Amino acid sequence: MPIRMRSLFGGLVALAVAAAGLTAHPSPAHAAPAPVCALSCDTLDPSKAEQDTFPVADRVINGRLLRLHVSDPDSMAWASIDRATQGDAVWLDRSWDRGATWEPLLGKATVPGTWTGTRTLMYNLTDPVAHRRGWIRACGDAAAVTCTDWVYPTVCDGSSCDGADPAGASGDDRPVPTATLFGRAIDLHVDQARGMAWATIGGGGAGDEIWLDRSWDGGATWPEGSSLGRTSVPAGGSGTHTVMVATRDPRGLLYGGAVRACGRAADRQEGACTAWARPAPTRARAAADALMASYRTDEGWWRSSWWNSAVAVTTVAEFARRTGRHDYDWAVARTYEQNKGVFPAGARGSDPVEGHFISRAIDDAAWWAVAWLTAYDLTRERRYLDEAVTITSYVHEYWDPRTCGGGVWWDRERTYKNAVTNGLYLWLTTALHQRLPGDTLWGGRSTTAANWYLDSGMINAAGLVNDGLTAGCANNGQTVWSYNQGLAIGAFTQLWRGTGERRYLDTARRLADAAVTSPQLTRDGVLTESCDLGTASCDDNQKQFKGIFVRHLADFADATGSAAHRAYLTRQADSIWTKDRDPLNRLGQRWAGTAPNPADWRTQASALEALTAVEGLPGRR
């Protein structure tokens, strides 16, 4: 439907003045804005900057030198004034709407006494937590006010930058339906491979306008990306196109930018826009970008699920390992650095975190050990392997042969021995043995754990893993969850790889075959949790189970070369992509696409595992 579009003339004039870098006096002083925190918080001392570059030209004010300094690794900037005298001042302006308005006088510093210069503190160029992309400039006052140009007015994703000609696009997809307006056709075009977009209008006449909006929060707001590439149909024409714009800003730690095409008829005030969409360079990359849009760069995790965040960072590291794309390696490192310390109850979960990712929930700690072993496999950085050893040593403290002959307790209160904790322990001990040269300790523990698991009764007669054991040490018959099945498949696959013992491979195969054929886990060829049925809904824990399963099933398929299990994995990825995805590449709980189908970062990470699992298989992209 047509929508009433407010006049943008005044705003466009302001943007043009700002983009040209013309001198502007600051707005009257007002309350300081709330500090922005990305990798660091506003007002960091420049002595801590990782880099010092000068991406815009210096300005001279009555002989004084005004300079903007930028540290891209920190995503921060500061300003300095030199050859100055007492009373000269320097500050930063920061804009979130391409220079139309700005936060003035940030970090204002005045040259004292006999000094000949001074500098501000550092301020963030970007605000990924609030999904805002900023511009910054240095300003000074030395008997006159002058400002540098704004830094980074153009978004670039590698060599793909705002303003490129669509004639150079490597592809032309139209991911959302055409918007119509008084006989005009307004279309959004996407170069999927390069993550670029442009807009066209056709079937109209001279003076019709077309433009793009770009949003970093899925279309909720778009102050930095309003009216991009706005252009008019020339005299005698019936249509035209915009330039291309980028949808990823790695420098600004902003991924998964959404775009839409908008247009206006020359003889009317009404306008119309297409739906929002995100490009999909590949299935896995598209899903990873959408997942990273929820990552808290300031805190280094995905709010607000502690163990789910461990699985999400595992997913990101596995994405990098399988695809060779290292866009998010920085997030793996940041998650480690920001979370290896101590946190009170409520900061990362209901329980305190006591350091080294350890809390009273034994399985929660174990998920973090899996994350750091995956990070070690990706980076070969010893700190990750050492962290995994520390965490798994903690988990081992709850191996208790006095009850049920062995097995790890689920919690410190020793209330339950279940499949998830013991599946994790078995996988971890095996993985450590394989990664520690000359190890015998963890190898012995893995063999003991495997024998206990096989004798425990948790694997039922149908080859499915129930949730755990009763107080009397019998299979409790509780729900068959996909992640318990997957952990056992992965652990026994790894044991077979390490020992060559056929019984371990036979167990892994039996578990895998049962999972892909049993209606308790697979329906109409699609992995289906019991909470995916009817009007049920999975809780925040259960939303991530299926991704864990496919990761371990993919490991089994890799180890054995099983065509049948690879075909099963491909069906999952295809179903997710065709039935469980919206134009913003958000992936829901139900891989078959049935309703109700909630979507959040947990469901996104789970589905990403399935898309990553088929990377490199013939015919996949």
Supply the pLDDT for residue 618: 60
Supply the pLDDT for residue 620: 57
- Shortest CA distance to 545 belongs to which of 495, 609, 449? 609
* C-beta neighbour count of 277 within 10 angstroms: 23
Contact 353, 342 (CB under 8 A): yes
Each residue's pLDDT tens digit, 258-304: 999 999 999 998 999 999 999 999 999 999 999 999 999 999 999 98
* Mean per-residue pLDDT, 394-411: 98
Each residue's pLDDT tens digit, 309-321: 999 999 999 999 9
Supply the pLDDT for residue 619: 54
Residues 430-444 as b/e (b if ≥16 CB within 10 A, e otherwise) read bbbbbeeeeeeebbe
* Mean per-residue pLDDT, 491-495: 98
Each residue's pLDDT tens digit, 220-232: 999 999 999 999 9
Each residue's pLDDT tens digit, 520-564: 999 999 999 999 999 999 999 999 999 999 999 999 999 999 999
Supply the pLDDT for residue 617: 72
Instruction: Give the mean pLDDT of the chain.
Output: 94
* Mean per-residue pLDDT, 86-111: 97
- Shortest CA distance to 257 belongs to which of 273, 280, 227? 280
Each residue's pLDDT tens digit, 3-51: 333 333 233 333 333 333 333 344 434 456 799 999 999 999 999 999 9
Give the whole-angstrom CA distance, residue 292 versus residue 253: 9
Residue 70, beta-bridge partner list: 53, 77
Supply the pLDDT for residue 351: 95
Residue type at 492 in one-letter notation: F
* Mean per-residue pLDDT, 322-334: 96
Query: What are residue 72's phi and psi, to 5 degrees?
Result: -60, -40
CA torsion, points 372, 335, 54, 148, in degrees to nearest 10? Answer: 160
* Mean per-residue pLDDT, 326-341: 97
| Strand 3-4 relative to strand 184-191, pairing | unpaired
Supply the pLDDT for residue 33: 79
Supply the pLDDT for residue 28: 39
Supply the pLDDT for residue 31: 58
User: Does pLDDT of 2 surpass 70?
Assistant: no
